[in-house]
Each structure stands twice: as structure tokens, then as C-alpha cells.
Amino acid sequence: MLVRLYDLPDFPSEAKVAAAGVTVRRALPPERHFVTAWVGAKFNNYWVSEVEMAMSQHPVTCWIAVRGNDLLGFACHDASMKGFFGPTGVGEAARGQGIGEALLIATLRGMREAGYGYAVIGDPGPVEFYQRRLDALEIPKSSPGIYGGMLAEPNPE
């Protein structure tokens, strides 16, 4: 999917999430082990590798949602490809409260500040999530896109 970054809308979830005591911010390099372990426990190893990439850049291109000392979600850009948004995920217990959207808009604004005019969502998964507030366009003939031929995890026997 393709997203214009120069006319991003306001997302009401930002204020809602802040009012609920959740902070959405750029992750810090010393938090890398913490964020990658959390993503590995809740999601998959491909995303761990992508988060490692995002957490190794200066400035870091991974945003996190935190309440107190609890990590609730993450979103990256420039992980697999320059100009790509993702991966992103919110812990199951914290879903449906606007955190995914708040992470999305914070990361897209970060991309705009980094000099991009457009973002590519390389592997969107729930397309409706991205189309709800963003006027995101599906890119024809782009599946599996850059991920074609990627090594697969062995099946556990």
C-alpha cells in the first residue's frame, strides 16, 4: 500500500491514548534487547530481525507505546526497505484502545520528518486498519513484493 505523508490526517486516537496514560515515543537504543524480546515472545522472529534493524539506526526508526514500565506495542519504518512502514503490533490485551493507530501516525510523521514524501506498507496484513483513516492505495502486483523467496522457518517436529 502507498500512503501520502504530506497530508496526513489528525488521528483522534492520539489524544485518547494519551488520556489513558499511554506514551507513544521513539524507542531508545538501550531498550533494544527489551523491545526485541517482547516482539519475539508475542509475534515472530522475522519481526525480531526487522526490529533489530530499526533499533540499530540513528535516529532509531522504531516507536513504542508504553504505560509506566509496560511495553504495549511497537511500530517501525526503514526496517526491511527504505521508505517502508512496518512491522507493527500491539499486545493482545491492549488492542482496541487506539494504540495501534497512535503508533501508526507517530511513525508516519517520523517518516515525513526523515524526508520521505510517501510511505510503503510492505506487508499490510489487515488492509482495513490502514484504510480506515488513511487514504492508502493498494499497489498492483506487489504481493509478495520484496519478500518473495524469503527463507522460511523450519516446521517444528
Ligand X SMILES: CC(C)(COP(=O)(O)OP(=O)(O)OC[C@H]1O[C@@H](n2cnc3c(N)ncnc32)[C@H](O)[C@@H]1OP(=O)(O)O)[C@@H](O)C(=O)NCCC(=O)NCCS
Q: Which is nearer to ligand X, 58 or 100 (CB)?
A: 100
Interaction mask 67-106, ligand X, x per CB under 6 A: -------------------xxxxx----xxxxxxx-----
Smallest distance, ligand X to C-beta of residue 90, A = 4
Q: Could you say whether residue 128 binds ligand X (CB under 6 A)?
A: yes
Smallest distance, ligand X to C-beta of residue 20, A = 11
Smallest distance, ligand X to C-beta of residue 157, A = 27
Query: Residues 13, 36, 61, 80: which binds ligand X (CB under 6 A)?
Result: 13
Cell 515472545 locates to: 41
Q: Which is nearer to ligand X, 41 or 157 (CB)?
A: 41
E strand spans, 58-151:
62-67, 70-77, 84-90, 118-121
Q: What type of residue sits at position 49? A: S
Q: Is the peptide bond before 87 cis (omega within 30 degrees of 0)?
A: yes
Grid coordinates given for 153: 522457518
Q: Is the dihedral of CA 127, 21, 84, 88 positive or negative?
A: negative
Question: Using an 8 Å Cβ cutoff, are 74 and 51 in contact?
Answer: yes
Q: Which is nearer to ligand X, 40 or 157 (CB)?
A: 40
Binding site for ligand X (CB under 6 A): 13, 86-90, 95-101, 125-126, 128-129, 132
